[in-house]
């Protein structure tokens, strides 16, 4: 058994292989691997005694779950109303150019994933960008390049 | 199971504890329209056409009768202006997915085509009858939902189909009979998949292979 499936087993056992805890289990697995591969979903279904259609039902219902690989660093740009008014479009363009990524894309080396979000609850800082949980208010093109270089 | 007494449309009726309002009404011969309900399956409450008004005066509220259990002294109205308006709107919306809604239903609630809504004739009203039949009665889980909101759709999982269809439904695809619009039937081309063979791909609500779920998601912009 590969390392990843052993880790999945460990997470599932942590919840007593309870199928009621499906969402929580999937959240933990995704936290560990950044996304949910088909192999992992099949294994989870098997362990919990749930059919695959139910796992696809749940994982495609919640936007948080990703069925495609995600980068090591999650970059979010807020395009909510307040940020939009304060220049989110320009910020998104700068970030896209700086990371050479379009929104909802993951770079080929799986370093970054770029996505847009609607409101992060800190409109006074807008337009806002978040890299791995770190909030940045209206970063310049240079700052974005610096951050991109700092990340492993 | 104890007997309860309740009021439906001003009529006193005796019902059994644990019944839903829908069952109680049908037993009393009172009509409530349904689209996603089937006696053999668990209630689901996706079509909302069975809504009724319960309570009195200020405390009135609207509930799905197929899911709401009866209680002692419950007062139910099945055909108020408000409810019929709800039903009309639901039918108005459904008309743009399925152009063969039973005419009596449309006429009863005065539903007419509304140009505000764009036609999207998927012929699937997302009632989930096929999905629930496959899961609850057959335990085969060949059909399932993916996505949510406007992109929610029924998909066939071919790996499951190859594994279970032939055993679960040896004579004919029984889920076809459960589909109110017949779209599942046209998706299958009326034929059953041969063992291990992928399903004939006929309609966008169906996908060919498990893994193509990604393609579908990509197409509908959910990735």
pLDDT tens digits along B113-163: 888 888 887 778 889 998 999 999 998 888 888 888 877 888 877 677 777
Find, in chain B, the residue whose alpha carbon is nearest to that of A42: B210
Nearest to A104 by CA among B222, B216, B146, B147: B222
Taking the CA of residue B203 and the nearest CA in chain A, the distance in Å comes to 19
pLDDT band at B179 (very low <50, low <70, confident <90, very high): confident
- Res B202: pLDDT: 34
Angle B90-B95-B97 from CA coordinates, rounded to 5°? 105
Find, in chain A, the residue whose alpha carbon is nearest to that of B218: A68
Q: Which strand (E) or helix (H) includes residue B24? A: helix B21-27
Cβ–Cβ of B135/A51 closer than 8 Å?
A: yes
* Alpha-carbon separation of residue A138 from A5, A70, B80 (angstroms): 40, 24, 54
Q: Find which of B210, B215, B220, B221 to mutate to test the A interface (most A CBs within 10 Å of its CB).
A: B210
Share of chain A above pLDDT 70, in %: 98
Taking the CA of residue A74 and the nearest CA in chain B, the distance in Å comes to 15
pLDDT band at B211 (very low <50, low <70, confident <90, very high): very low
Q: Find which of A36, A51, A60 to mutate to test the B interface (most B CBs within 10 Å of its CB).
A: A60
What angle do helix axes A38-48 and A3-14 make, rounded to 10 degrees? 40
Domains in chain A, number = 2
CATH of residue A133: 3.40.30.10
- On the question of pLDDT at B64 being above 90, the answer is yes
Given A61, A85, A100, the domain boundary residue is A61
Query: Do A78 and A54 share a domain, yes or no?
Result: no
- Res B222: pLDDT: 44
pLDDT band at B212 (very low <50, low <70, confident <90, very high): low
- Res B165: pLDDT: 78
Asked whether the beta carbons of A65 and A59 are under 8 A apart, the reply is: yes
Query: Do A129 and A81 share a domain, yes or no?
Result: yes
Taking the CA of residue A12 and the nearest CA in chain B, the distance in Å comes to 22
pLDDT tens digits along B24-60: 999 999 999 999 999 999 999 999 999 999 988 888 9
Q: Which residues of A touch B213 (CB under 8 A)?
A: 56, 60, 67
Q: Is residue A67 part of a domain?
A: no
Rounded to an integer, the average pLDDT of B66-71 is 94
Q: List, as ranges, residues 67-86 from A with C-beta within 8 Å of B.
A: 67-68
Cβ–Cβ of B213/A67 closer than 8 Å?
A: yes
- Res B216: pLDDT: 54
Q: Is residue A68 part of a domain?
A: no
- Res A148: pLDDT: 87
Encode chain A (152 residues) as per-residue pLDDT tens digits: 466 889 999 999 999 999 999 999 999 999 999 888 888 888 999 999 999 889 989 998 998 898 888 889 999 999 999 999 999 999 999 999 999 889 888 888 888 999 999 999 999 998 999 998 899 999 999 999 998 888 87
Cβ–Cβ of B214/A68 closer than 8 Å?
A: yes
Q: What is the mean pLDDT of chain B?
A: 81
Query: Do A138 and A102 share a domain, yes or no?
Result: yes
Query: Do A57 and A78 share a domain, yes or no?
Result: no
Task: Work out whether strand A73-78 and strand A112-117 pair parallel, antiparallel, or are unpaired.
Answer: parallel
**Residue with more model confidence, B93 or B191:** B93
- Res A52: pLDDT: 87
Taking the CA of residue B64 and the nearest CA in chain A, the distance in Å comes to 23
Q: Find which of A51, A58, A69 to mutate to test the B interface (most B CBs within 10 Å of its CB).
A: A51
Query: Do A82 and A126 share a domain, yes or no?
Result: yes
Q: Considering the domain B3-79, what is its CATH architecture? A: Roll (3.10)
Taking the CA of residue A79 and the nearest CA in chain B, the distance in Å comes to 17
Q: CB neighbours (10 Å) of residue B101? A: 17
Q: Is residue A66 part of a domain?
A: no
pLDDT band at B70 (very low <50, low <70, confident <90, very high): very high
pLDDT band at B218 (very low <50, low <70, confident <90, very high): low
Query: Do A77 and A143 share a domain, yes or no?
Result: yes
pLDDT tens digits along B167-178: 888 777 788 788
- On the question of pLDDT at B219 being above 80, the answer is no
Judge residue A63's burial from the number of C-beta atoms within 10 Å of its C-beta, 0-12 exposed, 13-18 middle, 19 or more buried: exposed
Assign residue B87 a region (left: φ > 0; alpha: ψ between -120 and 50; beta: otherwise).
Answer: alpha
Query: Do A7 and A54 share a domain, yes or no?
Result: yes
Taking the CA of residue A46 and the nearest CA in chain B, the distance in Å comes to 13
pLDDT tens digits along B88-104: 999 999 998 888 888 99
Q: Please report the number of interchain residue pairs, chain A to chain B, with beta-carbon separation below 8 angstroms.
A: 49
Three-state secondary-structure class, residue B34 = coil
| Domain range list for chain B | 3-79, 129-219
> Which one of A38, A60, A63 has the shortest CB-CB distance to B146?
A60
- On the question of pLDDT at B223 being above 70, the answer is no
Q: Which residues of B touch A67 (CB under 8 A)?
A: 213-214, 217, 223
User: Domain of A84?
Assistant: 73-150
């Amino acid at each position: 058994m590969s390392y990843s499936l052993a880790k999945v087993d460990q997470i599932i056992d942590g919840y007593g292989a309870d199928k009621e805890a499906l969402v929580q289990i999937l959240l933990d697995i995704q936290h560990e691997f950044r996304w949910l591969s088909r192999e992992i979903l099949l294994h989870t279904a098997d362990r919990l005694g749930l059919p695959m259609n139910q796992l696809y039902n749940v994982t495609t219902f919640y936007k948080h779950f990703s069925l495609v690989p995600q980068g090591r660093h999650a970059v979010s740009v807020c395009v909510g109303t307040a940020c939009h008014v304060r220049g989110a479009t320009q910020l998104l363009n700068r970030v896209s150019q700086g990371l050479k990524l379009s929104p909802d894309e993951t770079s080929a080396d799986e370093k970054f994933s770029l996505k847009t979000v609607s409101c992060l609850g800190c409109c006074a800082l807008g337009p806002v960008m978040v890299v791995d949980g770190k909030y940045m208010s209206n970063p310049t093109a240079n700052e974005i390049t610096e951050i991109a270089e700092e990340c492993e | 199971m104890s007997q309860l007494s309740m009021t439906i449309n001003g009529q006193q009726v005796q019902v059994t504890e644990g019944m839903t309002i829908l069952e109680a009404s049908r037993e009393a011969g009172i009509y409530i329209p349904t689209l996603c309900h089937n006696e053999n399956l668990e209630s689901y409450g996706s079509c909302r056409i069975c809504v009724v008004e319960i309570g009195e005066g200020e405390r009135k509220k609207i509930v799905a009768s197929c899911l709401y259990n009866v209680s002692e002294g419950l007062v139910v109205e099945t055909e108020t202006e408000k409810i019929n308006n709800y039903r009309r709107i639901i039918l108005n919306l459904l008309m743009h997915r399925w152009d063969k809604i039973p005419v009596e239903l449309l006429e009863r609630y005065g539903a007419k085509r509304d140009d505000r809504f764009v036609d999207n004739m998927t012929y699937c009203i997302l009632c989930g009858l096929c999905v629930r039949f496959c899961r609850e009665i057959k335990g085969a889980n060949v059909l399932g939902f993916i996505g949510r909101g406007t992109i929610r759709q029924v998909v066939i999982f071919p790996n499951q189909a190859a594994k279970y269809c032939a055993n679960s439904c040896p004579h004919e695809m029984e889920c076809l009979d459960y589909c109110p619009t017949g779209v599942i039937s046209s998706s299958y081309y009326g034929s059953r998949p041969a063992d291990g063979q992928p399903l004939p791909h006929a309609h966008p609500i169906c996908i060919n292979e498990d893994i193509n779920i990604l393609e579908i998601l990509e197409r509908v912009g959910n990735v």
